[in-house]
Amino acid sequence: MTTQSFNQSNSELEQTSEMKYGERLIAQGELITFPNPRIGRRYDVNISLPEFTCKCPFSGYPDFATIYLSYIPNEKVVELKSLKLYINSFRDRYISHEESINQILDDFVAACDPLEVTVKGDFAPRGNVHTVIEVRHQRHA
């Protein structure tokens, strides 16, 4: 294969608008759960997701954060790969720091119905401003 035909093949591939398999999985971004193996036992699950990205709804600039999710399961536990894909679904979304963390909490509660959950977003400084958003939910008996 010559360099010219290789470049032509790459150019043709770039022109196709078909989503890659990873992009399709991220776009679906659904939180999947499985049964808690120890219902009735209170235990903490602590997860950190250091590659969260979204876009500022005002400037369009990218925002970067580490998301910390801590919860006490009830009847369901979140499947980690689905959580990763769900978090990656924010990368092209125009959403504020505050709304993104609140949305993650709402979606997590809807999927898992935990006894308790805290979601914290520690956003990388931009323009000399460092933001940390923390939201909590506790299940009512």
Sheet hosting strand 62-72, strand order edge to edge: 45-55, 62-72, 116-126, 129-138
The answer on whether 97 is annotated among ligand-binding residues is yes
- Could you list the active site residues? 56, 63
The answer on whether 130 is annotated among ligand-binding residues is no
The answer on whether 99 is annotated among ligand-binding residues is no
Write down the pTM of the prediction.
0.85
**Angle between the N-to-C axes of helices 21-28 and 80-88, in degrees from 0 to 180, rounded to the nearest 10:** 90
The one-digit pLDDT tens for each residue of the chain (141 residues) are 555 555 555 555 555 578 898 888 788 778 999 999 999 999 999 999 999 999 999 999 999 999 999 999 999 999 999 999 999 999 999 999 999 999 999 999 999 999 999 999 999 999 899 999 999 999 987
Instruction: Confirm if 38 and 77 have CB atoms less than 8 A apart.
Output: no
Question: Which residue matches tokens 């399709």?
Answer: 24
